[in-house]
Structure 1
Amino acid sequence: MDFTSRKLSLSILFSVLVSLSWSQNFEGTIIDQTNSPQFGIIVQCGDKKTLTDELGKFQIPCNKGPLIIYGNEIDTLVYILNGVVAPQPIIRVQTSQSMEEVEIRSNRLHYFDIGFIPPIKGVQIATGTNTLIETERQGGAKSSANPRELFAKVPGLNIWESDGAGIQMGVGGRGLSPNRAANFNTRQNGYDISADALGYPESYYTPPLEALRAIEIIRGSASLQYGTQFGGLMNFIIKDPVQNSPFQFTSRNTVGNYGYFGTFNRISGTAGRFEYQAYYQLKTGNGYRPNSNFNQQQGFVQFGYHLNERNQIRLEYTRMSYLAKQPGGLTDKQFEENPRQSVRDRNWFKVDWNILALHFDSRLSKKTLLNIRAFGMLSDRYSLGYLGKISTADPGGKRDMIAGDFKNTGIEARVLQRYKLTAKQKHESAFLVGARYYRGQTSNLQGLATDGNGPDFKFNHPSEMENSDFLFPSENFAAFTDNIWFLGNRWTVNAGLRFEYIKSSAAGYYNQYAIHPLTLDTLSVSRIESSNTISRSIPLFGAGTSFKTGKYSNAYLNFCQNYRAVNFSDIRVANPNIVVDSLIKDEYGNTTELGWRGFIGKYFYTDLAVFTLFYGDKIGLAPEPNSTRKIRTNIGNALNAGVECFVEFDFLKAIRDSSKIGSSIFVNFSYIHATYISSREKSYIGKQVEYVSPIMLKSGLKIRAKNWQVQIQGSYNSAQFSDATNSKTGSGDAVIGEIPAYFVMDLSARYTFRKYFQLEAGVNNLLNSSYYTRRATAYPGPGILPSDGITIYGTLQFTIEVKR
C-alpha cells in the first residue's frame, strides 16, 4: 500500500519516558484506524529525524519541539515539550519533499504478536502465506528459546525437541522433516547461517531469542528470491541498535531447574552517523537426563555507519560455540520404564560457528533501493561416542568420531524498483532483480577416536580414517527476479523466476566391513574410492495473485516450484547399520496454496489456507535386499495436502475498546495428509510419510495490561511414524516405530516495574508429560530421544541507559 496515494487518518499513542537524563526523549507508536502499525513514517524534532519501525514505534530526542510527523491527511498531531504531551494543529508537508524516505506501510497486527509481512518491504517482495513473528512482544521461556512457544502461532510446523535449552532448532513445515530446519533457507539478517546452503543446509546455530526483533517466514512464490528449499525462508532479524541513546546496557539472567543458568548481556547505542551493538550469551546446565550437561556461548558485534542520507554500511560478526554431553537414545522398553535414564556416558558433541557479514544499503533514487550483502563462514562440528544399537551396552574401548569442517563465502545483490502502471494508478508496483554467488567447501571425516570418557576430539589415525574421508567442494550461481503488479484497488499479481547453476563435487573414500554374524569379528575390509562432479542448471518458476475481499482482508493463490540437491548428510555413512545408494539423486517438487486472511471486525483475525506439496524422488530409508541393513535412497514420490487455520480474538478489547486490559485467545490448527503415491518399495505406496503429524493443534490465552502479562498454551500432536513402513511397534534398536501422540502445556508471566526492570517466570511442560518427538538413526541417539519433563524458570532483566 503506497503512503503517497492513500489518505491515512493516523492516531498517535505516546508515553513519556521518565529517566535520569538531562534532556527529554520521546517514544511513541503510530497506527491507523484499524490499529495497524505504520512502518517507515518520518518523525522529526529539530535536526533529529527517525523512521517508525515495523511495529509503528519510534524513539527520538526532543527537548525543543515541536514533534513533526511527515505525511498527507494527518488529522491529529501530538508533540512533547518539557515532558508534556499536548495536541498541536495539523502539519502537512509536500509529498515531493518528504515521501522519498517513506518506504512502505506495514499491515502488522497491533494487539497480537504475530502478523504478515507487507507486499513490499525494503528490497523484498512478500506474498502468500508469509508470517512475521514479533519476538520482542512474546512471552515464554526466551532464555531457553522454547520452540513450542516461539512458533505457537505458525500453522503446519512440526517441531523436534532434541534438547531443552534451545541450543539446536528442529522445525519442519507442511510435512517436511524438522531435522535442524534443513528444509528452510535459514538466514540471519538476510544472509546464510547453515553449514552449506545447498550441500548441507542443516543449521547448528540458532541466534538467541533474547537478541531478536522478529522472525520472518516466507513461503510460496516469493520464497524463490532466497533459494530452492521446499520450506521457504526463515530469517532471524537481530534487534537494531538503540537510536535515542549513545549507550544502553541490558542484562537478562535466568535460572531454572536441572541446574540451568543463562545470562544475556547487550550494549547498544548511536552517536551521530555511527551505530553499534554487541551481545554475549551464556547457557549452561545439567540437562533433564544424566549425561546431558551442556555449555553454550554466543557473541555478536555489529557496527553501522551512515555515509550520507542515502547510503549505509554495516559490518557484523557472529560467534557461537557449545559443548554438550549426549545421553544417547532409549529403547521403547527403557522409555516406558524411566524416560530420564541414560545408557551412554561417553558421547559428546562440539560446535564452533563463525560468520562474518557486510551489508551495503543505498537509495539510488526516490523509488530505487539497492542492497548488497557479502558473507563468509568458518565453522566445524564434532560428534564423538559409541554408535552401536541402543539395545547393546557400550563395550568401552575406542569411540567413533565424525568431524565436519565448513568453509563458505557468498555475495548477494538485489535491486527493487517501484513504479506505476499508469499515471492515475494509486498503488505502486515493484520489480525486483538480484543475483547470488556462493562457494563452499565441506570436509567430512569419520574414524576411531580415543577410548576415554571425556570430550577428547582427536582421531587415533588422522591420516587414515577407518570409516570415511571426503571433501565436498561446491559452487553455486543464482539469478532471480520477482514482480508484483497492483491492478486497480483490489487485485495484485506477482510472478517470480529463479535460475540455479549448481556444481557439486565429492572426492574421498569409505570402508566397507564384512562382519561375522555370530562372533561379530571383522572378516574383511573393502576400501571404496569415489570421485565425482555433477553440474546442473535448474530454472524454477512461481506465481500468485491476491484479491482484496474487504477493507482489511484478502484472498490469495500461489504456486511455486521447489528443488533440493542431494545433501552431504544424505551420502555420508554415519551409522554402520545404514548404507547409501550410489545412484541417489536430487529431489524436486512444487507447492500450491489457496488462502484467505484478514480481520472480521476489529479484534478478530484469521488466516486460513489449503495447500498441496508434491515431493518427487524423496530420499529416505528402505530395506536393503538380502540384508538386515537399511539403504538411504530415493524411495519414491509423495504428496502432502492439508488445511491450515489460525484465529486470534481479543474479546476484552472487542467488548470495550478503551479497556486497559487485553485478553486474546488463539487457535492454531493444521491437518496434513501426506502419503507416498509411488515408490520403489511397493509396500510404501499409500503409507504415511515419515515425521508427519496429521493433526497439530495449539491454543492459548494471553491476558495483558500496561506492565504485566500472563499466558498459557497447550500443544497437541497426533501420532506419527519414523519411517515409511509405518511400523507401530518399535524395532529392537528403537530407530523404527511409532511416535505416539502427545499434549504439552506451557505457562509464563511477565511484569515490568520502575521501567528499567522486568521479571519473568514460567513453567514448561506444566503437566510433566512423558513424550518424545524423534527416533534418531545415529547421533544424538540412536533410538528414542525423550523430551524434557516439567521445567521451571525465572528471569530478571534490567536496563541502564544514558540519555542525550
Structure 2
Amino acid sequence: MKTATFIKPSLICLAVVAAMPAMAKEQVKDIELVTIFSKSNPVNDVPGSAHMLDAKTLEKFDYTDIMRTLTAVPGVYVLEEDGYGLRPNVGMRGTGQNRSEKVTIMEDNVLAAPAPYAAPSAYYFPTSGRMTQIEVLKGTSSAMYGPRTTGGVVNMLSRQIPEQDFAGQFKANLGEDGFAKLHAYAGGKGDNVSSVFEVFHYQADGFKNINHTDRDSGFEKNDVLTKVRFNSDDNAKYYQELEFKLKYSDEDSNETYIGLTDADFASNPYSRYSASQLDNMATEHKQLQVNHFINLSERLTLSTNAYYNDFHRNWYKASKIGGLSLGSGGVEAAAEFDQGAGADTLAVDIKANNRDYLSQGVQTVLNADLNDHQMKFGVRYHEDQMDRFQWVDKYELGADYTMTLSSAGVPGTDSNRIDSAEALALFVHDEWTIGNFVVNAGLRYEDIIIKRKDWGKNDSGRDLDPSRKKNNVDVVLPSLALTYKLTDELILLAGVQKGFAPPAPGNEQAENEESVNYEFGARYIVDSLHAEAIAFYSDYDNMHGNCTASQGCDEDNIGNQYNAGEVEISGVEIKLGDSFAFGSFVIPVDLAYTFTETEFQNSFSSGLDTWGDVSSGDELPYVPEQQLQLTVGVEFEQFTANVLVRYMGDMRTQAGQGTLVADQRIDSRTITDLSAHYALDKAQKLSLTVDNVFDQTYVTSRTHGSTMVGKPRTLTLGYSYSF
C-alpha cells in the first residue's frame, strides 16, 4: 500500500524558482552539472582516494554487472549473488557489502538507493550497462556526500546529451544461456534546446537449471531514459541551463535465496531445488530529475538538482520449506524432496516481500572562486520511506514437482509498516592553496528524523492505530585533507574525517554508526604512467550490522539493527597503470591491489547470522585479506583485445579468528575475462567477450545454510553502429 506518491509542491516550487533568474552574457563551456570530477576538479588533484572509470575504460569489457566493473578500483569489495549483478553487494574499506547499504550510491549526483536514510539496502541499483562514466571516492574525498561517509561514494553518470547536432548508436549482443542485450540512443545539441533518448534492454535464461521443471532461472530488464535541456544564448549575461531527466525501468527475474547443500553443490553446482520454482522478483522504477545551472559571475556558479524516485518491488520467494526456515533445515528439506526421499508432498511457504519506496529532495551547491580559496557551500533537503505490505502464500509441492496453492495470504499479515526519514544536510568545503600545499577542509551537518509506524501482523489493513517510534539524530562531520607537491610528478597526500551512518528505524535507543578514518599515501604521474599507493585506517566507535534476508537472517530478526561496538579496519590500496608502445602496437597495463585487516575490539552476541557470538579479536566476515586485478591489452590499428585476471583471497562467512573452518569459508579464486573488438569501419564494430574463460566453478556466498555458485564461462558476440 503506497501512502505517498507525489513530490511535495514545495520542492517543485523551489526547483522552479531556482531556474528563473534572468538570462544573460558570457558563455560557459563544458559545464558538468552531474559529475564529481571536472576540468576544474580533475581526479588526479583530489586529496584522497578517487578514481574515474571513463567511457573508454567501460567499453573494454562492456559489463552489465557493476560488480565486475568496480573491481578495477582498489579498496572496493563485492559479493556476487545472481551472477548478473541484478542486486549488487558493494562495500569499501571493510564496511561490508550487504546490499551496498554502507556505500552512498548516486546517479547523476543524486541519491539512487530506494530509501537511502530509512532503508539503505539497495534492492534497486541503476543499470550500469547504460552508464558513460563511473566515479568512486573513498575516505576524505567522500566527506561532502552523505548520508554514509565512512565507506565511500559511487556516482554513475547516465547518457549525456551529445555535443553534435545529431548523433547516436545501436548495439546488439547475443550470448550463452540466452543472454541478449539491445542498447540504442540518439540525440543532439541545438542552439537553445538539446535532447537525447535512450533504450536499454537485457535478458538471459539463467545458468541454473531448476530441478524437475521446465522453468528457467533467467531475467528481463528494461531501461528507458530521456533528457531535454534548455540553455540561454551564448551571449547572455547570466548563462543558464535547465535540464529535465525522465527515466523508467522494470525487471522480472526468477531469483532465489535458496542455495545448495555442500553435497549437491559438489555433484551439480548449477542446479536449483524445485521448491524455488516460483521465486521471482518484479520491480518498477520511475524517476524525475530537474537540473539547473546558472553562472552568476566569473567567480560564482550555482547548481541545483530536484529529484523524485518511485520504486516498487515484490520479491516472491520461498521462506519456509517443510515448516522450517531456510537456515534451520529448510534447504535440506528441499534437497531431500528432490532426491525422492521422505514424504510424497512438501509444504512450501512463499512470502510476498511487497514493498514501495519513495525518495525525493532538492539540493543546491554554490561554487566560489576566491583565488587561493575554492569554496563550496551546499544544502540538501531529503525525504524517503519504505512501505512494507507483505503476506505469505502456502503451497504444496506434489510428487510430480508441481506447486499447488493451498492457502492464499492476506496482504499485511506478514509485515505492515512504514519506515520514513526526513533529513536536512549542510556542508561547506574549502580548498586552500598555499604554495605547494593544498589544504582541503570540510564540515558537514546532518539533522535527521527517522520514524516507524507499525500496524503489526493483522488482516485489518491499516484501520488500526499503529505503534509509533521516532529517532532524532544530528551530527557534525569534520574532514581535513592535505596534499603536498613534492615535484611536478609526485604528490603526497593525507587526510582524516569523521564517518557516520544513521540508525535504522524501530529502535529509539539505537546509536549512530560513527568512526574516525585516516588515510595517507602518494600519487605519481608522468606521461602515461599513473601510480598511487594509499594506506587507510578506520577506527569505529560503533559499527552497525543490519539484518536482511540476503544475509541469511532468521525471519523474526529481519529488519533489526545490531551494534558491533569498536572495530578497527586497516589496509593498503595500490593502483598502477601505464601504456607501452612497440612499433604499431600499444600495450596498456592496469593493476589494482588491496590488502585489508579487520578486527572486532569487543565481545558481544547478536542475531545477525554473519556475526553471531563475537569474541574480541575476531575478523569481520566477507572481507578478503587480499584482492588483485591485472588487465593487459593490445591495441593495433582496428583491433583491440584485453585480458583481465581477477584474484580474490580466502574469506570468512562468519566472524571468527584463526584457521578458517571449511563450512565458514570461501576459498580463494582466480577468474579470467577476455574481450576483443574489431572496427569494420569508422561506424561499425564487432566484439567478443568471454567471462570466466577457464570455466572456474566457485562459491560466491554461504547464506541460509547453503552455498551459492558464481557464473560459469559465458561467451557473447556483439555488433555496434554509431552515427
* TM-score above 0.5: yes
Q: How does 1:732-743 map to 2 (within 5 A)?
A: 737-743=664-670
Whole-Å separation in 1 of the counterparts to 2:66 and 2:428 = 36
User: What are the equivalent positions in structure 2 for 1:712-751 lying under 5 Å apart?
Assistant: 712-725=643-656, 728-729=660-661, 737-751=664-678
Equivalent residue for 2:426, pick from 479, 484, 489: 479
Could you list the per-position Cα deviations for residues 504-529 of structure 1 after superposition, in whole angstroms to 9, with x for gaps in the alignment? 011114459xxxxxxxxxxxxxx997
- Once the two structures are superposed, the pairs formed by residues 311-710 of structure 1 within 5 Å of their partners are 311-327=240-256, 328-343=258-273, 344-387=276-319, 388-389=325-326, 390-393=331-334, 395-420=346-371, 428-449=372-393, 451=395, 460-462=408-410, 464-465=412-413, 467-488=414-435, 490-510=436-456, 530-567=467-504, 584-599=510-525, 601-620=526-545, 633-652=562-581, 659-681=583-605, 683-710=614-641
Residue 95 of structure 2 corresponds to which residue in structure 1?
176
Q: How many angstroms apart in 2 are the aligned matches of 1:51 and 1:441? A: 38
**In the alignment, structure 1 residue 262 sits paired with structure 2 residue 181:** yes
Paired position in structure 2 for 1:296? 221
Matched residue type, 2:674: L
- How far, CA to CA, are the matches of 2:51 and 2:44 in structure 1? 10
State the secondary structure of the residue aligned to 2:492. strand
SS of aligned partner of 2:695? coil
User: What is the CA deviation profile of residues 305-331 of structure 1, one whole-angstrom value per residue up to 9, with x for unaligned ones?
Assistant: 102341000000121110111253122
Using the size of structure 1 for normalisation, the TM-score is 0.74
Larger Rg: 1
Aligned to 1:786: 709
Structure 1 residue 287: Cα displacement: 0.7
Deviation string 1:692-735 (CA, Å, 9 cap, x unpaired) is 1001111121111343211101111111112224694466xxxx
Q: Percent identity?
A: 17
Do the aligned residues in 2 keep the contact of 1:614 with 1:639 (CA within 8 Å)? yes
Q: Is the 2:47–2:494 Cα contact (8 Å) retained in structure 1?
A: no
Counterpart-to-counterpart distance in 2, 1:179 and 1:135: 28
Please state how far the C-alpha of 1:746 moved relative to its aligned partner.
Answer: 0.5
Q: Provide the rounded CA distance (Å) in 1 between the counterparts of 2:695 and 2:635.
A: 26
TM-score, normalised by the number of residues in structure 2: 0.82
SS of 1:271's equivalent in the other structure is: coil
Displacement of 1:469: 1.2
In 2, Cα distance between equivalents of 1:105 and 1:253: 36
The CA deviation string for residues 614-665 of structure 1, in whole angstroms up to 9 with x for no partner, is 233223489xxxx99978521332110001111123232xxx6xx5431122
**Structure 2 spans left out of the alignment, 5+ residues:** 1-25, 33-37, 210-215, 320-324, 338-345, 459-463, 548-553, 606-612
Contact 2:428 2:442 in 1 (8 A): yes
Following superposition, the deviation at residue 208 of structure 1 comes to 3.9
SS at match of 1:335: helix
The residue number in structure 1 matching 2:35 is none
**SS of residue in 2 equivalent to 1:336:** helix
CA distance in structure 2 between the aligned counterparts of 1:642 and 1:598, rounded to whole angstroms: 20
Task: Report the counterpart of residue 4 of structure 1 in structure 2.
Answer: none
Q: Which deviations, in whole Å up to 9, do the C-alpha atoms of 1:276-326 show, x marking residues without a partner?
A: 111111111111112421111111111111023410000001211101112
Residues 145 and 371 of structure 1: CA distance in aligned 2, closer, same or farther (over 3 Å): same
1: distance between equivalents of 2:374 and 2:181? 44
Contact 1:348 1:455 in 2 (8 A): no
Q: Runs of 5+ in structure 1 lacking a partner?
A: 1-47, 55-102, 108-116, 120-125, 421-427, 513-526, 572-580, 732-736
Alpha-carbon spacing, 1:152–1:537, altered in 2? closer, same or farther (3 Å): closer
Runs of 4+ in 1 over 6 A off after TM superposition: 452-457, 627-631
Task: Give 1:591 shift.
Answer: 1.3
State whether residues 620 and 656 of structure 2, in contact with CA within 8 Å, keep that contact through their aligned partners in structure 1. Answer: no
Across the two proteins, how many residue pairs are aligned to each other?
635
Superposed CA deviations along residues 228-272 of structure 1, whole A, max 9, x for unmatched, are 412222110123211222x32311101110011110111111122
**Alignment partners' CA distance in 1, 2:555 and 2:146:** 38
Q: 1:450 to 1:51 in 2, by over 3 A?
A: farther
One-letter amino acid of the structure 2 residue matched with residue 377 of structure 1: N
3-state SS of 2:486 partner: strand
From 111, 115, 122, the counterpart of 1:203: 122
Alignment check: 8 A CA contact 2:248 2:285 kept: yes
- Retained in 1: the 8 A contact 2:675–2:690? yes
Q: How big is each residue's C-alpha offset from its partner over 1:141-195, in whole Å with a ceiling of 9 and x where there is no partner?
A: 42533632x2243112111222333323222111122223222211111111111
Asked if 1 retains the 8 angstrom alpha-carbon contact of 2:198 and 2:226, the reply is yes
Aligned partners of 2:540, 2:138: CA distance in 1, in Å?
16
Q: Do 1:228 and 1:564's aligned partners in 2 also have CA atoms closer than 8 Å? A: yes
In the aligned structure 2, how far is the partner of 1:189 from the partner of 1:213?
Answer: 11
Letter of the aligned partner of 1:277 in structure 2? Answer: V
Q: Which amino acid in structure 2 is aligned with residue 308 of structure 1?
A: D
Structure 1 pair 399/596, CA: closer, same or farther in 2 (3 Å)?
A: same
